[in-house]
Every structure is written in structure tokens, then in C-alpha cells.
Amino acid sequence: MTPDPVSAPPLEAELARAWLRRWDARQERYVADREGRFTVIGDVLVHALAGCARPFVLDLGCGPGSLSVRVAGRLPSAQVVGVDSDPLLLALARGACPRAVRFVEADLRLPGWSALLVRGYRRAARMLRRTCVSSPVR
């Protein structure tokens, strides 16, 4: 995947990974069993997307990509796209995970943000509606 060309470039990989480790450690203080929650989200996605040859996963408000990276690890055939409006957090994400996830800078409060995703968005929106609204995973 290629990064969004209008955003800040990725940080050097080792520096980005070091900052991401610090970010994750700090977040653990505020979110009880954060890693466990990531595991549950991954389990649900693996179950919900079983049988999809190339699933599309959209991580809205992805920050530095903590969840996006874990999802890409659990679903290696998936196309994972993380969306956030913070260029610094996206630079961390791109530096720490340059190939497995595509990161897009977009402000979700503004109309037209989905046009930056190019392809896959409509499928993702349909899946979100089907999975989360019509028939929740049991």
C-alpha cells in the first residue's frame, strides 16, 4: 500500500516504532486491559470475515495505527485502511507499519472524506451496516 501523498512523510521506522511503544504503554494506563480488547476485536473480525478472500477493514480515527497494525497481523489477506486527521500520529503509523496498512489523512467531520479512500469504501460501508446493524455477531 502507498501512503496518502498529501500527508506528512513517515518517520524513520525505528524511531516510529519506539514512539508507538511509548504511546501504547501510556494508553494502557487509561484503558483497562487494552491489549485484551484488541484481541477481542481481532477475534470478532476473524469470525465475521471468515470466507472473505480479501476483506476490507476501515479503522476510523486510527491515531498511530495501534489497532490497524494488530488487525493487519490477524488478517494478513485483508486490505486495512486507517483514517485520522492528525498528521503526526499518521507519520508514526506509516513509519511503524509502512506496508501492511494504508493510512489516509482525512477529517471525518468534513464532507467528502470518503473520496480519499478511492476503492473499497462502499463495500466497507455495506459490511458495516450488515454486520453491526442488521445481524450482530453472536
Do the Cβ atoms of 68 and 80 come closer than 8 Å? yes
**Cell triple for residue 60?**
476510523
Digits of tens for pLDDT over the chain (138 positions)? 444 544 566 688 888 889 888 988 888 888 888 899 999 999 999 999 998 888 989 999 999 999 999 999 999 999 999 999 999 999 999 988 878 899 999 898 888 877 777 655 555 544 444 444 444 444
The residue ranges of every structural domain in the chain are: 13-134
Contacts of 108 (CB under 8 A, 6+ apart): 60, 61, 83, 85
Contact 24, 66 (CB under 8 A): yes
CATH class of 13-134: alpha beta
Residue reference for cell 484481541: 39
pTM of the model as a whole: 0.74
Quick: pLDDT tens for 95-131. 888 788 999 998 988 888 777 776 555 555 444 444 4
